[in-house]
Structure 1
Amino acid sequence: MGRLFGTDGVRGVANADLTAELALGLSVAAAHVLAEAGTFEGHRPVAVVGRDPRASGEFLEAAVVAGLASAGVDVLRVGVLPTPAVAYLTGALGADLGVMLSASHNAMPDNGVKFFARGGHKLADELEDRIEQTYRAHASGEPWDRPTGAGVGRVREYDQGFDNYVAHLIGVLPNRMDGLKVVIDGAHGAAARVSPEAFARAGAEVITIGTEPDGLNINHECGSTHLDKLRAAVVEHGADLGVAHDGDADRCLAVDAKGNEVDGDQILAVLALAMREAGSLRKNTVVATVMSNLGFKLAMEREGVDLVQTAVGDRYVLEEMKAHGFALGGEQSGHVIVLDHATTGDGTLTGLMLAARVAATGRSLADLAAVMERLPQILINVRDVDKSRVKTSQELSDAVAAAEAELGSTGRVLLRSSGTEPLVRVMVEAADIEQARAVAQRLADVVKSALG
């Protein structure tokens, strides 16, 4: 059996891979592991539990709450809120543990369980491994130590979470955005209420799409993975920019006034220069992943900003930032971390800071984003293959070497297995888009034949 925890918690098809029994068991295991680690020492433990609007989140939330309370943890249920809101509230309320139920940008049938440690930080790999070991030991027959009587956890609703989080977002903005017209696509997800409210309080005129979640429509042809409706709405309404979130709102992509995409690399570039101007870009450094466009790297070099690159995954970006005291980092996909104000990627905060920069400078988003030129980049997701053999297949290794030799210094190749989905990602970058497309398709075909 493979490792339960991926790069972003435990995910799978709800009620098939991710069952109520698994969610309950992981929650009890998390409580036991954190207790053994001394996290709860000297006080009664408290957990913050939130979710996105997926229908399956209703029964999974019930399972998680039951598991935590049965292990002696008091639970504050904050309801439907973004992942970064749960992380923020975990820290702001002094809770010992945060739990978010979401599968982020995945389709509606999927769901996931993500744990946050005290302070709202993602759990270290070691703690996740111990939680999984503890869960498996119990599943094999090892009994839990169960409190009784007054020792069981108590459960209550925490209705102030929404207002507390929005107030936090508004409080950290460098300036208002009065006069700005913004279209927000909430992906029918966790940001459907939060993001429009935050932008409105910051002074923007707000137009919304994708903000009517019904439990089944999350991420469906909307949000950061489907920008067409946002592009059309921005142009139709003559808006200054558009902002798109994913299901749990830990990421943000944007479009300019003409409907052109502004991706995570461009957003990072704009924010890096804004923060440097404000004196908050610590060590004059931004952190990104190896998936960042080569154009981003060249832009930062030209602007005199140092760039540190990590493995793919916002957790690795965050680890690098925390280890070296950097203030800004993120991914091309729109996960942007502003560590002075958030402990994880925060799509609403990112969108607010981007719009605030437009308002402060009086420049269009297209003009600001032009600080970097995106080189053609082709990404192909290859499904139904054995992603565990990406690094060991000689056939695949030879194909990559041949592709790199063909591209030379004007491009690059990156193959990686997804940490959250059963697929292999093939990324090729080149000065010429047709060359990038041809090389990427050739490599995708090799992936299918070698790993299928």
Structure 2
Amino acid sequence: MARLFGTDGVRGIANRELTAELALELSIAAARVLGETGAFRERRPVALVGRDTRISGEFLAAAVCAGLASAGVDVVDVGVVPTPGLAYLVNTEGADLGVMLSASHNPMPDNGIKFFQRGGVKLDDFLEDQIEERLESPWERPTGADVGHVTADDGTLLHRYVDYLVASLGGISLAGLKIVVDGANGAAALTAVPAFTAAGAEVIGMNITPTGLNINDKAGSTHMDGLQAAVVEHGAMLGVALDGDADRCLAVDASGNLVDGDKIMAILAVELKAQGKLHNDTLVATIMSNLGLINAMREHGIHVEQTRVGDRYVLEAMGADGFTLGGEQSGHVIISEYANTGDGVLTALHLAAAMATSGKSVAELASIMTSLPQVMINVPNVDKMRAGVDPEITQAVTAANKELGNGGRVVLRPSGTEPLVRVMVEATTDEQAREIAERLAGLVAHRLAL
């Protein structure tokens, strides 16, 4: 049986793979496991439950709350909140557990369940495996006064989180900056514009009217065209795009050019180093980050530590050695002084603060990095688990890397959140990158066809 947890919790089409029954059982199992491992304090445990704006989050959150309460956990239903906001609140409110219902940047029909333990930290693989083992297994159910209470927060917790985001700027004002904010019709619709406004910026909001059905729909960090056009139309200095649960951020300069997660990390790394806050002069990134990032950081005396794909692995590397900045090209950026998970609004605020304090445009700041041409092809309808063991594919990847030499590379890996294989190629020219990527994608589609 395939492992239920992926790189970022449990995901699937809501009410098909991810049912209310599964949400209920997962929540019960999580409460049992964390209780058995001593992760709960010597009192009735407390959990915070949040969701993004997907309509399916309503019934899934109800199932999660029911499961936790049936396991003797007191539950506070926070309602719609960014994933990093829930992680922050689990920590600051002293909760023993957090559960977030979100599929991040995935389309609306999908949803997911992410668990946070005390401190707002994602569960490690061992705890996730333990939760899977407990699913539907016999247990002694509490009764009477031992079952948990479920209460709904009135918005106070969300306001505390927004206040914290603004306070993280340390008094830096964004006055004079005109910024377009794309909330992806997701959880950021409730936090991003208020945070930037409170910091002093002139804000133009777009995609901030969620209906439950329009999250990530031609909006946010997976659909940048609208933001690029809006920045130029309004004569803005910066555009920022969040995803459905606001844990990632991409940006746009005044000319409408994309500033991806690699460039955002490069800007913040140089800023933090100048402030003496970049631990061991090291940035943590994944193997999918552009070689241009590594080259740029080398020129600024910054080492890039690379991990497997997934912000959880970036976090593990940061935690193990106390690194202060890490992230992914997709826009997950972790600034450990202020958050222990990727936070799109926090990232966007600090990117704008770099502009405010330096007096430079985001294009000038991003010019420290030159990206190598990169082509990514997603190959669906294949047996993704054989991607790393098929001999012909392995041989072809080795040959392609030899062909590219020091001027490029190939990364071929199964997606951790979707049923497909990703083929990424970097090269000195777009033509070479695309030719090799298409060649390898064709081989993957043939060799791993279902």
Shorter-chain TM range is over 0.9
2:302 — aligned with what? 305
The amino acid across from 1:326 in the alignment is F
The amino acid across from 1:170 in the alignment is V
C-alpha contact (below 8 Å) 1:116/1:123 kept by paired residues: yes
**Aligned residue among 439, 443, 448 for 1:446:** 443
Counterpart-to-counterpart distance in 2, 1:391 and 1:437: 21
C-alpha contact (below 8 Å) 2:296/2:369 kept by paired residues: yes
The amino acid across from 2:163 in the alignment is A
- Larger mean CA deviation between 22-31 and 404-413 belongs to 404-413
The amino acid across from 1:45 in the alignment is P
The amino acid across from 1:16 in the alignment is R
Q: Does 1:198 align with 2:195?
A: yes
**Aligned residue among 132, 144, 151 for 2:139:** 144
Counterpart-to-counterpart distance in 2, 1:12 and 1:51: 15
C-alpha contact (below 8 Å) 1:177/1:360 kept by paired residues: no
Counterpart-to-counterpart distance in 2, 1:41 and 1:164: 24
Aligned counterparts, 1:114-125, within 5 A: 114-125=114-125
1:132 — aligned with what? 132
Listed one character per residue, the Cα deviations across residues 345-397 of structure 1 (whole Å, up to 9, x for unaligned) are 00000000001111111100000000100110000111010000011101111
Aligned counterparts, 1:221-236, within 5 A: 221-236=218-233
1:114 CA displacement: 0.2
Counterpart-to-counterpart distance in 2, 1:39 and 1:303: 42
1:198 CA displacement: 0.3
Q: Does 1:162 align with 2:158?
A: yes
The amino acid across from 1:314 in the alignment is D
Counterpart-to-counterpart distance in 1, 2:107 and 2:323: 33
| Aligned-CA RMSD value | 0.7
1:18 CA displacement: 0.2
The amino acid across from 1:154 in the alignment is H
Secondary structure of residue in 1 paired with 2:121: coil
2:4 — aligned with what? 4
Listed one character per residue, the Cα deviations across residues 251-280 of structure 1 (whole Å, up to 9, x for unaligned) are 000000000000000000000011112221
The amino acid across from 1:393 in the alignment is D
2:148 — aligned with what? 153
Percent identity, aligned pairs only? 62
Secondary structure of residue in 1 paired with 2:376: strand
Listed one character per residue, the Cα deviations across residues 297-353 of structure 1 (whole Å, up to 9, x for unaligned) are 000000001211111111110000000000000000000000111010000000000
C-alpha contact (below 8 Å) 2:41/2:96 kept by paired residues: no
2:330 — aligned with what? 333
Counterpart-to-counterpart distance in 2, 1:383 and 1:264: 25
1:83 — aligned with what? 83
Counterpart-to-counterpart distance in 2, 1:95 and 1:134: 22
Q: Any gaps of 5 or more consecutive residues in structure 1?
A: none
Secondary structure of residue in 2 paired with 1:191: helix
1:357 — aligned with what? 354
Aligned counterparts, 1:46-445, within 5 A: 46-135=46-135, 138=136, 142-158=137-153, 159-174=155-170, 175-445=172-442
Secondary structure of residue in 2 paired with 1:192: helix
Q: Any gaps of 5 or more consecutive residues in structure 2?
A: none
Counterpart-to-counterpart distance in 1, 2:250 and 2:308: 21
1:144 CA displacement: 2.5
1:143 CA displacement: 2.4
The amino acid across from 2:100 in the alignment is M
C-alpha contact (below 8 Å) 1:241/1:255 kept by paired residues: yes
1:230 CA displacement: 0.1
1:405 CA displacement: 2.0
- Larger mean CA deviation between 401-410 and 195-204 belongs to 401-410
1:124 CA displacement: 1.0
Counterpart-to-counterpart distance in 2, 1:193 and 1:359: 24
The amino acid across from 1:162 in the alignment is L
Counterpart-to-counterpart distance in 1, 2:391 and 2:125: 29
Normalising by structure 1, we get a TM-score of 0.98
1:180 CA displacement: 0.3
Listed one character per residue, the Cα deviations across residues 35-70 of structure 1 (whole Å, up to 9, x for unaligned) are 101122411100010000000000000000000000
Listed one character per residue, the Cα deviations across residues 159-192 of structure 1 (whole Å, up to 9, x for unaligned) are 2111100111111114111010000011111101
C-alpha contact (below 8 Å) 1:70/1:147 kept by paired residues: yes
C-alpha contact (below 8 Å) 2:183/2:207 kept by paired residues: yes
1:145 CA displacement: 1.4
C-alpha contact (below 8 Å) 2:179/2:237 kept by paired residues: yes
1:118 CA displacement: 0.2
Secondary structure of residue in 1 paired with 2:188: coil
